[in-house]
Structure 1
Amino acid sequence: MTVALLAMSHSPLLEYGDPGPDIKAEVEAAVDAARSFVHDYDPDLVINLGPDHYNGFFYQLMPPFCIGYDAVSIGDFGSQAGPLNVPKDVAEGLAEFVIDRGIDIAISLKMEVDHGAVQPMELIYGDISSKPFVPVFINSVAPPFTPLKRVRQLGEAIGGYLKTLDRKVLLIASGGLSHDPPVPRLATASEAQRRMLIGADGRQTPEARAARQQRIFDAAEAFARGEANIKDLAPEWDRQLMKILASGDLSPIDAWDPHEMTEIAGNSSHEVRTWIAAYAALGAIGPYTVNYSYYRPIREYIAGFGITTATLDN
């Protein structure tokens, strides 16, 4: 058994936003570094910790955590659609192990995932089904949120399970860092938005999805001009989080309050829960070193954009 980690921001605006040629080239170079790391490591199995943006999980039933025994990508924002290569025996074993360790986790026999789960696979491999892939959903957009201590404990339980596998595993954490895209909030939603958040009408029509995506594009352009009514990026908060994760001691994060996270770093800053769980999983196996780290706040992507890779010291 050996385990490595890739944690990276995702953004549907990577293909649509224009931060200028220098920043775009810088981000592409960071993605190239991550791609080289993963291809050199060549894992047998990917454990993907990702959020959802009211595409597969809705307020009709919103678990804090869920493991998919089977999964399909819906293809939002032009991401690759279709089935993922989920090894059911590994997914079942992971769920049972985590539950036995006192972490209450849901399961899905047909999980639907969006760009938040599959974008790293597309960027790294060009094909979301190229590697065996176990999706672990972590609620990151729908309050109320479970305490971060529980997220860390979930990650530690996942790491415990990975110790039992005779496989080369890559943990992918997808999401964050600070950002506040115009996703409807239940507390202020219109009736139509509320129905969408609940999932009352099923999957969105192509027209409704196109309109939803256009709102993101318009918000990114306005944000870059300093005109959008969304929270600003929080680079100091982002860097503090990355420093804690790199230290190997994640316990300071236990005290972080979800409401304060929202106020400081935006409503979707909770996607860093995927990073916390992944680093906790790696740390449960042994000491690790972050061997690559990139960060830049990019308004055109509405994201504090970060990429890190890490390997075990032994």
Structure 2
Amino acid sequence: MATLSAVLATTHHPFFYKATELTPPEEQMPQAAEWKSKVEAYRETLTAAEPELLVMVGSDHFHQFFYDNYPTFLIGKQARYDATFYNEIREFGMPTYELEGHEELSGFMFQGLLDRGFDFSVSSELKIDHSIICPIITTRPDGDLPIVPIYTNIFAPPLPSPKRFYDLGRAIREIIDEFPSDKRVAAIGSGHLSLELGGPRMFEEHGPDPEWDVQAIEWLANGDIESILENVTWESMSTSGNATPGFLDLILMLGIAGPEKAAYVDDLDLYHTREMYMTWYPDGDPRKAEHRKEAAA
């Protein structure tokens, strides 16, 4: 059976590459060096897990899906995925990618989700946007591993409940564990903490609700799904920022990891948002000496 070697939950900031790589050092924002350093440290948490393929969770930013026909949950099943979109290149300076797909796991995942009561859409013409490419840039910039992309609706209400996202994560975990392969799989998902897009609280000194951000990170880091389900609703997220329902994808990643404490937690308070980087190791922390001894035995 496959081994789930790491689960990563992160925010996705489309300006990271432009701010740290494309902007001359003398013109960079004051936090650019710290931001880059934190991302490089986070990247090592994935590298240490030695993944061979990636299950990637993200959401389409109205590039392919719109209010008239936005799938609640969708999985890609194709040999190759193109990325990114023109506006992301124009506005954020994001690089293009062509990522290899893993059709076998996509098909196995699709059937397994249907069997567990999750009526997914499936696409053989999916193009990837920055919700997946940002984590590729930050955690696997060579883009050298096959991916299985899963898209969720975090933008076009009505949305599924936080519990539905968590339960979906648990189902994905079961399916990865049952996948008949000796591959090491990592799951990487990106979403938001409090965030305002196009609203009156956009581009302020901090995110729209810094206190909510700190609490949300604590819930995730402690695996405290009970507090999340007790306190997080569409209304509470929307009050903290019109794009804060992106937190649902981070709940999904906790579902894949299980209600466990994270092995790695970091964050960075930027202007207009707080970045978060979190990793769980379901198969044991490969950075610890005792784990390395067990693996060598």
TM over 0.5: yes
User: Does residue 65 of structure 2 align to residue 57 of structure 1?
Assistant: yes
**2: CA distance between counterparts of 1:79 and 1:19?**
17
Cα offset, 1:42, TM superposition: 1.7
Structure 1 residue aligned with 2:112? 97
**2: CA distance between counterparts of 1:242 and 1:313?**
22
**2: CA distance between counterparts of 1:104 and 1:24?**
42
Cα offset, 1:50, TM superposition: 0.7
SS in 1 for 2:100: coil
Query: Aligned Cα RMSD in Å?
Result: 2.2
Structure 2 residue aligned with 1:146? 160
Cα offset, 1:19, TM superposition: 7.9
Cα offset, 1:82, TM superposition: 4.2
- Which amino acid is 1:72 matched to? D
User: Does residue 83 of structure 2 align to residue 73 of structure 1?
Assistant: yes
Q: 2:229 aligns with which of 254, 259, 270?
A: 254
Segments of structure 1 that go 5 or more residues without pairing to the other structure are: 184-218, 227-231
User: Higher helix proportion, which one?
Assistant: 1
Cα offset, 1:288, TM superposition: 4.1
Q: Contact 2:54/2:185 (CA < 8 Å) preserved in 1?
A: yes
**2: CA distance between counterparts of 1:12 and 1:2?**
27
Structure 2 residue aligned with 1:198? none
SS in 2 for 1:112: coil
Q: 1:293 aligns with which of 262, 265, 280?
A: 265
Change (3 A) 1:313 1:41: closer
Structure 2 residue aligned with 1:174? 190
Q: Contact 2:84/2:133 (CA < 8 Å) preserved in 1?
A: no
Aligned counterparts, 1:226-265, within 5 A: 232-255=207-230, 256-264=232-240
Query: How far does the alpha carbon of each residue in 1:148-189 deviate from its partner, in whole angstroms, 9 at most, with x for none?
Result: 111011101000001113321111111211111228xxxxxx
- Which amino acid is 1:278 matched to? M
Q: 2:41 aligns with which of 33, 39, 47?
A: 33
Q: Contact 1:67/1:106 (CA < 8 Å) preserved in 2?
A: yes
Aligned length: 263
**1: CA distance between counterparts of 2:141 and 2:222?**
32
**1: CA distance between counterparts of 2:146 and 2:46?**
14
Q: Contact 1:80/1:127 (CA < 8 Å) preserved in 2?
A: no
Cα offset, 1:124, TM superposition: 2.4
Q: Contact 1:84/1:133 (CA < 8 Å) preserved in 2?
A: yes
Structure 1 residue aligned with 2:290? none
Structure 2 residue aligned with 1:310? 280
Q: Structure 2 length normalisation: TM-score?
A: 0.81
Aligned counterparts, 1:108-127, within 5 A: 108-127=123-142
The 10-residue stretch of structure 1 (9-18 or 140-149) with the greater mean CA deviation from structure 2: 9-18
- Which amino acid is 1:295 matched to? D
Q: 2:50 aligns with which of 17, 42, 49?
A: 42
Structure 2 residue aligned with 1:267? 242
Segments of structure 2 that go 5 or more residues without pairing to the other structure are: 20-26, 285-297
Q: Contact 1:69/1:91 (CA < 8 Å) preserved in 2?
A: yes
Structure 2 residue aligned with 1:11? 13
Query: How far does the alpha carbon of each residue in 1:267-312 deviate from its partner, in whole angstroms, 9 at most, with x for none?
Result: 11111222111111121xxx6442221123311xx32211111212
- Which amino acid is 2:50 matched to? D
SS in 2 for 1:290: coil
Q: Contact 1:3/1:282 (CA < 8 Å) preserved in 2?
A: no
Query: How far does the alpha carbon of each residue in 1:106-163 deviate from its partner, in whole angstroms, 9 at most, with x for none?
Result: 11111122111111112223233x1011111011222221111110111010000011
Structure 1 residue aligned with 2:288? none
Same amino acid, percent of matched pairs: 28
Change (3 A) 1:178 1:4: same
- Which amino acid is 1:132 matched to? P
Structure 1 residue aligned with 2:292? none
